[in-house]
Structure 1
Amino acid sequence: MRTVLFAAALCASGACLAQNAASWTSLDAYANFETAGATATIAGDADRDATIALEMRRVGDPAFRTAHPLVRVDATHLVGSLFALAPNTAYEIRATLTDPDGVTGNAVRTLTATTRIDTLVEPSLRTLYVSPAGSDGANGLTPGTAVQTIQRAADLAQPGDVVRVAPGVYRESVTVPRSGTASQPIVFRGDGNGVVLDGSATLPADTAWTALANGVWRTTLAFDTGHVVGEQGRLYRYGSLAALGALAAGAPGGYWFDGATRQLHVKFFDNQAPAAHTIHAARFENGFVVDGRAFVRIENFEIRYFGAGDYGKAVYLRYASDAIVRGNRIRDIGAAGVWVKGGDRHRIEDNAFTDTSIAGWPWDSTKGSSAENSAVVFTDDVGRGHVIRRNTTDGGFNGIAPCGGSAPPGAFTTEVDVYRNDLRRHNDDAFEPEGWCANVRIFDNTIRDSHMAFAVAPAAPGPTWIVRNVAWNTGNTRTSQTDGYTASALKINSGYPEAVGPLLIYHNTLVTTAPATDALNLLNPGNATLLRTRNNIVAGTRYVVAKVNPIATDMNYDLLYTTDPTRFARWMNVSYANLAALQALPGLETDGVQAPPQLVAPAAGDFRLAAGSAAIDRGAVLPGINDGYAGAAPDLGAFEFGDTIFANGFESTAQ
């Protein structure tokens, strides 16, 4: 009783107010090319009811503009983002702290952030030449004195050098021994078409093969391998001779490598002898390795068939910084096209990642196997400021995984941007922002025919921004249609104790015509905090939304539709026949609309709104997200009707 009386006396004296009053600790900003992040750290506010409004203006502009408010991600951090910024431009950011319990000290803080220069620096020191006809005893300084291997050129390269690699097949792994500088990077450039970095040995036609039972053939290699590809595509890696004989993964075939004897066993789905096929067996684990270096650029190569062990990578950026991987064609790699471990400010752009066989293999066979690969994957403490843009991915198990496993050294947010990528035919997750995802922005991407569009399982501490993306025909995969796994545009079930951080799902077009497929299915298990949706088009062929996960939801102003006349939504094991019934739940889609999306030609890749669509002028105004809308209100989905102001995913008027 005395404790209660003492607490009451404290509140009467104003001590409760002092305990809960918020105060600034710091305000930090981090800018990329077209975005910037703001991270506020506050003290006090024990009841977590403080908010922070955000405003911005280009330095020199007369007035501030309202931006999206900061989002609370834990007891002391509120995080936000600015979109549609211009490169190489200074912006002033103003944050205003508000707390019903009061604010200690100045409520307003300002700072300036300058976006990065979006240019490629051309080195000016020397040109080094590489040619299959060259000699590693030459100096490499002229085409006539070209070296023969890329590795020899790398050993010679200094800051400011361009390594020009002539067309040909280079069977090697390349380690970059030194860094460039910001003004004088080291550039490795494929000089025209047909410059191939190949991690394999192609088994010659006269390879001695021994026929075994059940269609299996055997030969002995002079090296270890963990990845084999035929002319029909990647072969599945089996764990035993018996498993290879069963060929459970199916076409085009498989292999088993006995490390004790270096014997390679293969079986093809057509039961032909291996002499009838072209077989590439990986000899090297990695293509380019940039370990602890900075300002290195790799461009215009075909990189293929790496994976002598368990983690084959086309490009491995290990605790490197400011590397650029661009314009490459990366295919049939063991584990990852580009693998990022630590470091800051990498640019992975304009690459084409392909894998030949995985889309046809059973999910149960692929998950947990050597074929559970990704086009781009980030691991461990991935640093800050990475940009992954304008890439295409096709056929890998997963597409892009932009989060590492822990916070970047000395910082809270990762500030990773993933935009204008085109992802297709992933038998698991197109985007896999899982791990330490803090101010990760995924915008203006197109996803087609993948099992899951966005897997945030778990993405923490947040926020994760999913803005103005298109996901078409989620669930149109073997995993969904044959193997029996539930597809969804958003995956939040993880089985991990970490909670999914705040998810901000704005202005996306999430439409599937795959048979018997929910548009959104929020599955268990997994802890979650907040899912906020605004101005999306969500359409499926079964339930438009099914929810059993207890994640807190703030869903409104979305167009919801299903082609199934017997179903609409299923919410915490209760079915709702239509939007009106769903709106009986407190605060759920109060301003939503139930209608067909009416897109121009989605099957042909045109996801714009057709005239007369119920999505026109039905959205909520979201400062900093859709400021430049046309008409009476923002339109729903990824595109604004009748205008091109959203051609880059955001309004041009914010520039």
Structure 2
Amino acid sequence: MLVSSRARRRRGAIGAAVTAATTLIIGLTATPALAAAAGPESGTTYYVSVDGAPSADGRSASSAFRTIQQCADRAQPGDTCLIGSGTYRETVTPPRSGTAADPIVFRAAPGATVVVSGAERLSGFAPVLQKDLDRIAATDPYAAESLFSRAVADRKIFSVAADLGSAGAEAQVFTDGAMDIEASYPFPGTDLLDPVVERAQAGSADATIVDPALTRPAGYWDGARALTSYWYITTTGTVASSAVGSVTLTSAPVCVHKVVPTDTWYRLSGKIGELGHPGSYFYDAQAKRLYVYSDDNPNRHRIEAKARDLAFDLTTASNVTVEGIGLFASTIRTGDASTGVTLDGIDGRYLSHYWDVTRGTTNCGENVTRGVADTGIVLKGTGNTIRNSHLQYSAGNGVSLGGHGNTAVDNTISDVDYAGTYAAAVAVQGHSQTVTHNTMQRSGRSGINLQWNGVAGTTAGPDRIAFNDISGYATLSLDTAAIYSCCSARMEGTRIDHNVLHDPNPRAGGVYPFGMSGIYADNGMSDLQIDNNVGWGNPEGTVELNGLGSGSHDNAVYNNTGGMTLFYVREPGQSTGTKIYNNIGPIKGIDRATEGGLVLSNNLTDGDPLFVDAAAHDYRLQPGSPARNAAIPLPGVNDGSTDPVPSLGAFPYGAPAWEAGARR
């Protein structure tokens, strides 16, 4: 089989909904598990415990520091902070770096479950009574007859004074480790990567959403926040006026500049009247009060709100190792000068959160790119690594690689980009980055968003994207791919190889899933080598080239299985230097493609390739396959066959089948 058994087991183990049991990493024992330091570190081992004393020196388990920051303040190159079980509500900022030979190490003690949390607990919730409803209705009369008023009558609404910031939509609230959802219409449910949606209907004007399902009274939605999504554009705005059956925004959705009937889906929030569903909340930013819907007293549960973005702030640190640590409602970030940072065995949940994707612009700009460079685990600088980690839930990325020469390897990343922007499981920027042997599942847009940016003072080099298993992408976006790259850049020989790319999950209804492919070089990408990739379930095939823009030049597309689509490569000069050799599967747009300058040769585009078991996605070749002894020999690409001439497709006949995905 092509996908590793480890990846298959991990896929089955990952919860699909935001309500998955994240409590496993939060419900920790208060008794720290501390043991002797493990590893080759030559310096001093310091101890940290949630039961430590403020005046402790950290030199023994019985005199442990109470916070990780206390240990960070003391640690010198070569020292280790050994951390006992518990939840540490802090941002750790090391004041100094380690060295390449003697890093500073932050490590969970053997057998310990350690979480660094960006959330703070809330308590003292009181039931919302009729007198409270009357007070609210005095300034918001629509609250008097609403889902909220009915829930108040049923004793399902509770509130507490809380300062969660000035932007109500940006607040993040949790109950027993699972993220609550802001009160909205339609209520999306608790899985934001598979939300319930409403679509604008026929007759919409440029800035008006017309939908008979909008049954609230005229004026109800005035001033509400509107999230709209169309094709690959998600944006937020404000409702200027509303009537039964329609809402009109202050301006048309950015980028699209109109509401597109049946294809634009929307969500409206910012009205307390919509607070009437289990798992939901409403935050009044002006009154600094949080309201939650709960079937019983919320004081019996762990209610938390996000208070900090970072668990570890490594923006001025180098040669630091963080090992075996859990993150909750927070993340880790390095800086432009960071080097030698290693993140190993990180178990991160709810890494980044945001909803505002308008950002005050009038064109695409930050609306599609918000969160691409600064969310998820952010590795800038050079020579930094994240490995063997499990990352789940983020409005933005799972991992962002900036700078150059950084690595993401053997990670499992799922349920990311629930804000539906150009974020990804792994956002690759800068150059010379390595992304290999990762399993990525369920992303609002792409598994890997591959860009190229020069880094001052460095010589550009190729990225390597290989042996990744990516599935369940495009849940909120179209015109995308498991591995997506854009626009009009020369990629310095970047190689995308031996990836398994399958089963996108575009939203039902609306536009045709345009551009849905395994690997998409969009709008004039050049100097890519795309070889030995396998895909299934992709409407546009395993590989898609779009020459619009500066043209799709000097690309090498070799030995892929699963077909491809060629866009805008048919006019003279649009695809010079591109070679498409030894692939298996139908090629859409093959007619006139050579007029653009590309060369097609030795591809099996029709007939039965005689795979071992295509239904089970085993794309090795049977003995009688016409793909045997049929390829142009390409050293380093299609070596390994036991035949005298190499095979077409991603699996050389007779060679051991390669596997993709995280190896642990």
TM-score w.r.t. the length of structure 1 is 0.63
> Which amino acid counterpart does residue 444 of structure 1 have in structure 2?
F
Structure 1 SS opposite 2:382: coil
Q: Does residue 305 of structure 1 match 2:223?
A: no
Question: Does structure 1 retain, via aligned residues, the 8 Å contact 2:517–2:541?
Answer: yes
State whether residues 87 and 115 of structure 2, in contact with CA within 8 Å, keep that contact through their aligned partners in structure 1: yes
- Count of equivalent residues: 470
CA distance 1:531–1:167, change in 2 (3 Å): farther
* Number of the residue aligned with 2:346: 328
Which amino acid in 2 is paired with 1:471?
Answer: V
| Residues 548 and 177 of structure 1, relative CA distance in 2, 3 Å threshold | same
Residue 445 in structure 1 maps to residue 468 in structure 2:
yes
Q: Counterpart of 2:378? A: 339
Measured in 2, the distance between the counterparts of 1:198 and 1:424 equals: 24
Contact 1:324 1:346 in 2 (8 A): yes
**Hey, what's the Cα distance between the residues in 1 that align with 2:533 and 2:634?**
14
CA contact (8 A) 1:457 1:500 kept: yes
Across the aligned residues of Structure 1 and Structure 2, the Cα RMSD in angstroms comes to: 3.8
Is 1:351 paired with 2:393?
no
Indicate how the Cα distance of structure 1 residues 570 and 626 shifts in structure 2: closer, same or farther if over 3 A, else same.
closer
- Using the TM superposition, give the Cα deviation of residue 147 of structure 1 relative to its aligned residue in structure 2, in angstroms: 0.7
Deviations 1:88-111 (A, max 9, x none): xxxxxxxxxxxxxxxxxxxxxxxx
Could you list the runs of 5+ residues in structure 1 that have no partner in the other structure?
1-119, 307-312, 359-370, 405-413, 563-567, 650-655
Cα offsets for 1:112-132 (capped at 9, x unmatched):
xxxxxxxx9832111111111
| d(CA) in 1 for partners of 2:559, 2:401 | 28
* Inter-partner Cα distance in structure 1 for 2:335 and 2:352: 16
Q: 1:520 to 1:442 in 2, by over 3 A?
A: closer
Give, in whole Å, the separation in 1 of the partners of 2:62 and 2:614: 53
Q: Helix, strand or coil: the match of 2:69?
A: helix
User: Among residues 631, 636, 641, which one is paired with 2:643 in the alignment?
Assistant: 631
Q: Are 1:331 and 1:337, in contact at CA under 8 Å, matched by a contact in 2?
A: no
Q: 1:469 aligned to 2:498? A: yes
- Other structure's SS at 1:151 match: helix
The answer for the alignment partner of 2:217 in structure 1 is none
User: Does the CA contact (< 8 Å) of 1:247 and 1:253 recur in 2?
Assistant: no
Per the alignment, residue 589 of structure 1 pairs with: 600
In the TM superposition, 1:242-261 aligns within 5 A as 243-244=269-270, 255=281, 257-261=283-287
C-alpha distance in 2 between matches for 1:601 and 1:208: 60
Query: Which deviations, in whole Å up to 9, do the C-alpha atoms of 1:390-445 show, x marking residues without a partner?
Result: 111111121111213xxxxxxxxx32221111111112011111141741111122
Distance 2:303 2:116 in 1: 17
Question: Shift in Å at residue 522 of structure 1?
Answer: 4.1
State which of 410, 419, 429 in structure 2 corresponds to 1:390.
410
SS at match of 2:115: strand
Whole-angstrom CA distance in 2 between matches of 1:258 and 1:526:
46
Distance, in Å, in 2 between the alignment partners of 1:186 and 1:509 is 41
Other-structure match for 1:402: 428
Tell which has more relative contact order, 1 or 2 (C-alpha 8 A, sep 6+). 2
1:219 pairs with 2:160: yes
Quote the offset at 1:478 in angstroms.
3.5
SS of aligned partner of 1:537: coil
Equivalent residue in structure 1 for 2:118, among 199, 220, 237: 199
Q: Distance in 1 between matches of 2:589 and 2:552?
A: 20
Supply the AA of the counterpart residue of 1:505: I
Matched AA of 2:557: R
State the shift of 1:266 in Å.
5.0
2:534 alignment counterpart: 509
Query: Does structure 2 retain, via aligned residues, the 8 Å contact 1:390–1:421?
Result: yes
Report the residue type matching 1:532 in the other structure. N
CA contact (8 A) 2:452 2:491 kept: no
Matches of 1:491 and 1:188, distance apart in 2: 39
In the alignment, residue 333 of structure 1 is paired with which amino acid? L
Distance 1:613 1:377, change over 3 A: farther
Look up the match of 1:534: 557
Deviates more, 1:394-403 or 1:590-599: 590-599
1:374 aligns with 2:397: yes
Residue of structure 2 equivalent to 1:642:
654
Q: Distance in 1 between matches of 2:336 and 2:427?
A: 16
Question: Distance between the aligned counterparts of 1:597 and 1:315, measured in 2?
Answer: 47
Are residues 324 and 530 of structure 1, via their aligned partners in 2, closer, same or farther at CA, if it must alter by over 3 Å? same
Structure 1, residues 440-461: CA drift from partner, whole Å, max 9, x if none? 1111222122231111113733
User: Kindly tell me: are residues 481 and 196 of structure 1, through their superposed partners in 2, closer, same or farther at Cα, counting changes over 3 Å?
Assistant: farther
Cα pair distance change 1:315/1:291, threshold 3 Å:
closer
Q: Is the 8 A contact 2:84 2:108 kept in 1?
A: yes
Partners of 1:131 and 1:558 lie apart in 2 by: 59
TM-score, with structure 2 as normaliser? 0.62
Would the aligned equivalents of 2:41 and 2:79 in 1 still touch at CA under 8 Å?
yes
Offset of 1:519 from its aligned partner?
A: 4.4
- Alpha-carbon distance between aligned partners in 2 of 1:251 and 1:602, rounded to the nearest angstrom: 44
Any stretches of 5+ residues in structure 2 without a counterpart?
1-37, 134-142, 149-156, 185-223, 227-267, 354-374, 418-423, 455-460, 475-480
> 2:445 pairs with 421, 425, 428, which one?
428
Shift in alpha-carbon separation, 1:582–1:226, aligned structure 2, 3 A: same
